[in-house]
């Protein structure tokens, strides 16, 4: 028996009942087919009810109060932090910093660790497949500090060019900032190999796990990355909540980002002393309800099992590749199904991506269209925009069939128009 045979198979039809929005009918009473999960996922009743429960029964500000409501909210808020710690297998709960999202977490690192540690002679290695959130903060850092950014290219099959990566990284490299899974190509990068190479040369590694953390297991103690960032809204949690994980020693050495309440131990007119981790990086009233909701989303994910989710998405990805390859004029972007996560981006010859998405919408099929906050990657691919279907636990074979039907209709509409 193979390892895959021991992974419990999830039932997307049963899970769909947990998501009220998936019962929606749109565009002349079409059933909703939601294939825009790389942008944001839907929420199960368990998460929705958790948010309602907090507001109705025990909401108050955390840490500062001595009354019962504050105690209840504080306990649940810190319990959510422990759930994140266990979910990513961090060594300590205080290595988990709550932020507004992935973008905020990367900016925090760039503005604190970056401003303190990066100098004009230093280099940061990125890739052309990065989301703008993992490009622009480093460009801003380069403007402030005068460091150099170097970008590793991809191969024609959509995978990272590891030979070029090995050439780019050197003794001047202070940081490698890299996406785990491309939000356009679905490419899964070889993180263990990249981290080992970076650490050998004394560089730190930041991993953008926004597209991977909800879909496959990550163990930070085994992986050894120095920073990890991700968002709650891409893993069935609320919007406005994200996570920065960093090793304890790194966080201890980093200066705080925002100043104000909660992040201080003592304030005098001539200065202040910072609080202990994690409060040092959580100034002001934190995202209390959103963090508790993220904890509920983690509970839901763990009930299903990340291995089961991963295998379900792999099957859907293979099916999508197979069916799209039978539609003339479709160019699928990125590597083969076995080399990617549950993201399938494509171009339909003669039809702009926005037109494709609008025609799909007429069929009730929600996909993404545009540059997906990855303009440099689209330039590398010699296209201005692409269409993207992305999958999650509640997507079915029938969803893929409806996507293909919509694409065939798009071709016919354009042909009639011409």
Q: How far apart are CA 271 and CA 278, in angstroms?
A: 20
Q: Which two tokens stand for residue 86?
A: 């266990």
Phi/psi at 243 (5° precision): -135, 135
Enumerate the domain spans of the chain. Answer: 4-31+306-417, 47-302
Q: How far apart are CA 149 and CA 124, in angstroms?
A: 5
Q: What is the pLDDT along the chain (418 residues), one digit of tens a residue?
A: 344 558 899 999 999 999 999 999 998 899 999 999 999 999 999 999 999 999 999 999 999 889 999 999 999 999 999 999 999 999 999 999 999 999 999 999 999 999 999 999 999 999 999 999 999 999 999 999 999 999 999 999 999 999 999 999 999 999 999 999 999 999 999 999 999 999 999 999 999 999 999 999 999 999 999 999 999 999 999 999 999 999 999 999 999 999 999 999 999 999 999 999 999 999 999 999 999 999 999 999 999 999 999 999 999 999 999 999 999 999 999 999 999 999 999 999 989 999 999 999 999 999 999 999 999 999 999 999 999 999 999 999 999 999 999 999 998 887 776 5
Q: Which two tokens stand for residue 258?
A: 């925002």
Q: How far apart are CA 386 and CA 171, in angstroms?
A: 37
Write the secondary structure of 238-294 as one string of H (helix), E (strand) and C (coil): CCCCEEEEECHHHHHHCCCCCCCCCCEEEEECCEEEECCCCHHHCCCCCCHHHHHHH
Give, in order, the Cα–Cα distances in Å from 69 to each of 55, 65, 412. 11, 8, 60
- pLDDT at position 418 is 53
- Expressed in angstroms, the distance from the first to the final Cα of the chain is 55
- pLDDT at position 416 is 74
Q: How far apart are CA 283 and CA 99, in angstroms?
A: 10
Closest CA to 157 of 188, 191, 125: 188
Q: Select the CATH number that applies to the domain covering 47-302 from these four: 3.40.190.10, 3.30.200.20, 3.40.50.1370, 3.40.640.10.
A: 3.40.640.10
- pLDDT at position 2 is 47
Q: Which two tokens stand for residue 5?
A: 């045979």
Annotated active-site positions, please? 373
Closest CA to 305 of 97, 15, 39: 15
Q: Are 232 and 294 in contact (CB under 8 A)?
A: yes
This prediction has a pTM of: 0.96
Give, in order, the Cα–Cα distances in Å from 229 to each of 88, 116, 207, 235. 11, 20, 6, 13
> Do 47-302 and 4-31+306-417 have the same topology in CATH?
no
Q: Select the CATH number that applies to the domain covering 4-31+306-417 from these four: 3.90.420.10, 3.30.420.40, 3.90.1150.10, 3.40.50.1370.
A: 3.90.1150.10
Q: Are 54 and 289 in contact (CB under 8 A)?
A: yes
Give, in order, the Cα–Cα distances in Å from 302 to each of 19, 98, 389. 17, 20, 24
Q: How far apart are CA 280 and CA 63, in angstroms?
A: 13
Q: How far apart are CA 290 and CA 51, in angstroms?
A: 8
- pLDDT at position 5 is 57
- pLDDT at position 1 is 39
Place of tokens 């993180």: 191
């Amino acid at each position: 028996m193979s390892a895959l045979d021991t992974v419990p198979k999830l039932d997307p039809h049963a899970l769909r009942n947990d998501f009220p929005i998936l019962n929606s009918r749109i565009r002349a009473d079409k059933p909703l087919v939601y294939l825009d999960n790389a942008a944001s996922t839907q929420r199960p009743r368990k998460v929705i009810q958790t948010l309602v429960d907090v507001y109705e029964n025990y909401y108050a500000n955390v840490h500062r109060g001595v009354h019962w409501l504050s105690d209840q909210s504080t306990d649940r808020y810190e319990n959510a932090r422990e759930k994140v710690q266990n979910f990513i297998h961090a060594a300590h709960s205080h290595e988990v910093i709550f932020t507004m999202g992935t973008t905020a977490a990367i900016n925090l690192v760039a503005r604190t660790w970056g401003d303190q540690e990066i100098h004009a002679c230093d280099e940061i290695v990125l890739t052309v497949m990065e989301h703008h959130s993992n490009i622009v903060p480093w460009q801003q850092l380069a403007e402030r500090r005068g460091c150099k950014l170097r970008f590793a290219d991809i191969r024609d099959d959509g995978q990272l060019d590891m030979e070029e990566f090995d050439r780019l990284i050197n003794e001047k490299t202070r940081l490698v900032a890299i996406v785990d899974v491309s939000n356009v190509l679905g490419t899964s990068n070889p993180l263990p190999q990249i981290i080992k190479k970076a650490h050998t040369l004394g560089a730190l590694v930041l991993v953008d796990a926004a597209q991977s953390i909800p879909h496959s297991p990550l163990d930070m103690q085994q992986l050894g990355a120095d920073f990890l960032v991700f968002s709650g809204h891409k893993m069935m949690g609320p919007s406005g909540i994200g996570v920065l994980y960093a090793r304890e020693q790194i966080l201890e050495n980093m200066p705080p980002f925002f100043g104000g309440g909660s992040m201080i131990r003592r304030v005098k007119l001539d200065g202040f002393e910072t609080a202990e981790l994690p409060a040092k990086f959580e100034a002001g009233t934190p995202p209390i309800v959103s963090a508790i909701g993220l904890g509920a989303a983690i509970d839901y994910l763990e009930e299903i099992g990340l291995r089961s989710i991963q295998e379900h998405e792999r099957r859907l990805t293979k099916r999508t590749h197979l069916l799209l390859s039978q539609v003339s004029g479709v160019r699928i972007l990125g590597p083969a199904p076995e080399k990617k996560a549950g993201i399938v981006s494509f171009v339909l010859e003669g039809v702009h991506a926005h037109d494709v998405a609008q025609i799909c919408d007429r069929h009730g099929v929600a996909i993404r269209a545009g540059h997906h906050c990855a303009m440099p990657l689209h330039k590398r691919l010699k296209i201005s925009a692409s269409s993207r279907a992305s999958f999650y636990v509640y997507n079915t074979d029938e969803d893929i069939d409806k996507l293909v039907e919509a694409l065939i209709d798009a071709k016919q509409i354009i042909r009639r128009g011409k």
